[in-house]
Amino acid sequence: MSKVLKDPVHGEIELHPLCVKIVDTLEFQRLRFIKQLGCCYFVYPGAAHNRFEHCIGVCHLAGKLAQAIRDRQPDKINDRQLLCVKIAGLCHDLGHGPFSHMFEHFVNSFKGKNWKHEEASRKLVVRIYGHLKKEFKELGGLEQDDIDFIKDLIDPPEGLYQRAKDGNVEQKKDFFLYEIVSNATYGVDVDKWDYFARDSLHLGVKTSFDHDRLITSARACTDDDGVTHVAYREKVLDHVYEMFHIRYTLHRKAYQHKVNKAIELMISDAMGKANFVVGVDGYGKEITLSEAVDDLDAFRKLTDQFVLDKISEFSKEARELVDRIYKRKLYRFVGEKRIELQELNDEETVTQQEKTIQTEEQLRDELVGEKEGIKKHIKVQIAYFDYGAKDKNPVDKAYFYTKNEPDIAKHPDKVRYHPFIVVYMSKLNP
């Protein structure tokens, strides 16, 4: 049977019977104990919501957007695709570690590579399918090929658009499905819609963005290369701008808040000092916290409170750092320096990670000067404040359609977002 949940953001949410089975797995239930905003909870007491409810919200919105397109264009989405989109929304954040995005930075500082939570999400979807293969078949008619499709909906592979562009008619026709949960094309997707609404509610940040306004105009439209995209009516262009503006606002007020960044540094340092053993692999080798992403059994244990308790248990220095957080004896804010994004994008020969390291070292030198004795005590973090596309206009790559051409996907007319004057004329007599 399906299940109806009461959500503070979306009201009543009805889950498909297969989605109910997925929610009831240990892999999904773990998300109840991972804060959506990580360390922001130490700054904003209301930010106590978890990845669990966010994922259910994304499942709901993914189904709502896909169904809205299907209602207008019945030939675009079949039952199997609709269910796969819902499951992708439900499972897209399964791979988040404790304290969400902060854990990615911690792992990469040890592993020396760019690990992302989407990697673990893809693996955990396969693991859940292994548990529920019978239910996937009986409740949804889904097979292994559909699991591969769901994985790509969660994390679209690089070069997917080019393959669709050069591919067959079906690849071109179905490409818009990859823009619903995680839109790598132009960044407008239901994942953002849910966390903008949910985070704003729990943070107490006012917002005028309304995702329902976009859903009511969404269509699957074809671009000049024959590839189909999720496109919106041209008249809702301002709502898309508002979406990217609330993203900027939330980063300024919460996600990149200086106290939040200080606490992230402290917990990351504590995790590094402890780096405790989480489990043992099949060969008897111990798996540490920084290595847990490579072993799903070890990774499944990791939640916010589990890590805080364990690092305090395994290291005196780590325990002192955690105690300092509770007692509000935090790392002090030294200063800030604003850098134009273009300055970071000039050197194309180095990776973004190398650019970040170089800039952190440069900023440390500028802030501390010649005082070598205290330089080792200064840590620098770079916070990006943009509208989702670095130094570019995020709406440039979005797709819209007009009333007269409802099936043609086009980029917005640049005249619409440069400063302009409008002269209104009224006829005095009827």
3-state helix, strand, coil in the chain (%, to 5): 55, 10, 35
411 is known as an active-site residue: no
Give yes or no for a contact between 102 and 268, defined as CB atoms under 8 angstroms apart.
Answer: yes
Look up residue 364 and give its two tokens.
């440390």
- 89 neighbors 181 (Cβ within 8 angstroms): yes
What CA–CA distance (Å, rounded) separates 96 from 120?
Answer: 8
CA nearest 169: which of 226, 100, 87?
A: 226
Number of CB atoms found within 10 A of residue 385's CB: 11
> Phi/psi of residue 6, each to 5°?
-100, 120
List 10, 117, 211, 257, catalytic entry:
117
Write out the H or E segment, with its range, that includes residue 7. strand 3-7
Residue 300 CB partners (closer than 8 Å, separation 6+): 26, 27, 30
**231: nearest Cα among 82, 57, 76, 415:** 76
* Through-space distance between the first and last CA atoms of the chain, rounded to whole angstroms: 60
Nearest to 218 by CA among 89, 10, 73, 387: 73
User: Which amino acids are annotated catalytic?
Assistant: 117
